[in-house]
Amino acid sequence: MALDRWIALVILMISLAYGYTAFFTMDDGLPPFMKFNAIWPSTFPKGLSVMAVICALIILLSPQKADAGPKAGDIDYRRLLDYKLGQATALLAMMVIYALALRPVGFLISTVAFLVISALILGERKLHILIPIAVLAAGVVWYLVQQVLGIYLRPLPFFMGTGG
C-alpha cells in the first residue's frame, strides 16, 4: 500500500475516534439552557470529523494508479534523510515553544517572535520587511480576536500591568 493510503488510514482511525467522542460523549455535560441552542460545542467537531472521514475514504477507496516511480515534486519516503529535516524539526520545536510562551510572554510578543524566528529558519533574510509584517499580522489578529470576537488575549506579559 502506498504512503498516502497509510496516512489516510491513520487519519481515518483518528477521525472515527474523534467523531465518536463528538457525537456520543461531548454533549452529555451540557447545562439544560444550552440544549436549546442551535449550535452546540460539539457542532464543529462533528463537521470536522465527518469531513475528515469522507476525505480519508476517498483516498483509501480511489483506484490505485500504476506506480511509475516518483515524479518531480513528490516526496520519496525512501530518501527521507535527503530532505531538510532540521528545518522541520526546528519549526515543530518553535510551535511548542510558542504554545508554552503565549501566557507568560503575552500574545503580541510571542506571536511576533514566532513569526520572525520561523521565517528566519525557513531562509527569509529581509528583516526590514519581515519584522513590520509580523508586527502588523500579530496586531491585526489580536485586534480581531479581542475586539471583534470578544475573546480576551493577554497582549503583553503580566508584569507590564495588562491584567492577570
DSSP string computed for 48-117: HHHHHHHHHHHHHHSPPPP---PPTT---GGGGGGS-HHHHHHHHHHHHHHHHHHHHH-HHHHHHHHHHH
Nearest to 135, CA basis, from 157, 160, 108: 108
pLDDT tens digit sequence for 109-146? 999 999 999 999 999 999 999 999 999 999 999 999 88
pLDDT tens digit sequence for 150-159? 888 777 776 6
Q: Is the pTM of this model over 0.85?
A: no
